[in-house]
Amino acid sequence: MNRRDFLFVGGAAAGAGIMGRFVIPAVRASSKPSGEAESAVSRKGAANDGIGTTMVVGSQLSPTSDRMLQLLARHGVKNICGDPSRSGPRQSWTLEDLLRLRERVESHAISLDMVSLPLSSSYITQAENPNIMLGKSPERDREIEAICEMIRHAARAGIPTLKYNLTILGVLRTQPTPGRGGSTYSTWVYEKAKQNAPLAEVGRVSAEVMWERITYFLERVVPVATEYKVRLACHPHDPGVPLEGFRGVARVLGSVDGLKRFISIADSEYHGLNFCQGTVAEMLENPAVEIHDVIRYFGTRKKIFNVHFRNIRGGRGDFREVYPDEGHVDMFQAMKVYKEVGYGGMLMPDHVPSHPDDPGGLQAHAFAFGYIKALIQAVSSEG
């Protein structure tokens, strides 16, 4: 499964700052998807020029092993974001890595529509390429060039989209809360988190500095992505915090206005968002009412390259991540808006609730896969 670094700063851990790290828990480049897999390339009709016109259930579960791929195939998931096995340094993967990954995925009649760059949601001290967001040169220039080479590799391997994060603090959470059936919900309560929260190891980072570092990165990688026709999908900061930031660090991609500014920095159809609906809902005072117009804003501009389709209870500064059928957002209406704006790509589970009898969250993911598939069928049947 995807590794996400959750920072617990509230409750009993307030005085100590960080409580700890919570982990949720050779083919030819021109080869076509086998079996019934329908790739983003085939749905669009031209190699590497983006996502298709049909919404599909997706997955970012890892590792991308044969066992995991069998599980996905059993549940009707035919399009995924994969996790390349890295034969080289941690911060790099090769064309051969991607070709092997694509061969393995397609052998299960699944399409490799996306791959994760080594720019994860980890806290900065555990980041794969930390100097990009630390703004430290010449180290960041070497890291950026490595990312550019990965974009070129993805194009040669026939992978149309890469997802990534530009974060310092990673994913912030306070103590989890109980959910239905003995499950546990990831939770954020800003009023608890801010109590005695220590300054981050990197010191104070203003919004101006954050924008400089983000712009520096985009000005160098987006032209490469545009040349090679590979979409770059950036995840928002999770969660949004007040404008002054948290632990001294501004979270400029933690608001809708920040995301609007972000997509305007580079004028390219290959620059857009890994649109985490859950994270965006967490930015809003009234997600049930506001989320649909946010989807419309980015969707009509064709800046939604992937969707993390999850639900929450609550809103900005106080929320719980719940099962998709029990949150405050009407997920059927949200799905109708994605159809309305012509979105054609993956909608995948993200941050599912946990339970002792569900190691790795596979049961929760199975529930979410079925839920998403049913909603896609429902809105498609409306004509």
Encode 93-120: b = buried (16+ Cβ within 10 Å), e = exposed.
bbbebbbbbbbbbbebebbbbbbbbbbb
- The amino acid at 370: G
Could you give the CA distance from residue 162 to residue 98 in angstroms, rounded to a whole number?
12
* C-alpha closest to that of 284 among 233, 334, 329: 329
Query: Residue 168: what pLDDT?
Result: 98
Contact 221/233 with Cβ under 8 angstroms?
A: no
pLDDT (0 to 100) of residue 32: 43
- Over range 206-222, report the average pLDDT: 98
Structural class in CATH, domain 5-381: alpha beta
Tell whether the model's pLDDT for residue 132 goes beyond 50: yes
**Helix or strand or coil: residue 207?**
helix
What CA–CA distance (Å, rounded) separates 147 from 217? 10
pTM of the model: 0.88
Give residue 45's pLDDT. Answer: 37
Spell out the long-range contacts of 289-297 with Cβ–Cβ below 8 A and sequence spacing 24 or more.
Answer: 291/329, 291/334, 292/333, 292/334, 292/337, 294/256, 295/334, 295/337, 295/338, 295/341, 296/337, 296/340, 296/341, 297/256, 297/260
- Residue-wise pLDDT tens digits, 8-26: 443 333 333 333 322 222 3
Angstrom distance (rounded) from CA 9 to CA 197: 7
- pLDDT tens digits, residue range 229-279? 999 999 999 999 999 999 999 999 999 999 999 999 999 999 999 999 999
**Residue 76 pLDDT greater than 70, yes or no:** yes
Residue 353 has pLDDT above 80, yes or no: yes
Residues facing 319 on adjacent strands: 188, 314
Cα(11)–Cα(21) distance, integer angstroms: 15
Instruction: Give Dmax (Cα) for the chain.
Output: 56
Cβ(155)–Cβ(228) under 8 Å? yes
The 10s digit of each residue's pLDDT in 25-50 is 233 333 443 445 555 555 443 333 44
pLDDT for residue 181 is more than 80: yes
Average pLDDT, the chain: 88
367 — pLDDT class (breaks 50, 70, 90): very high
Residue 6 predicted with pLDDT over 50: no
Percent of the chain with pLDDT over 70: 84
**Residue-by-residue DSSP string for 114-137:** EEE-S--S--GGG-SSTHHHHT-T
Name the amino acid, one letter, at 26.
A
137 Cα distance to chain centroid: 27
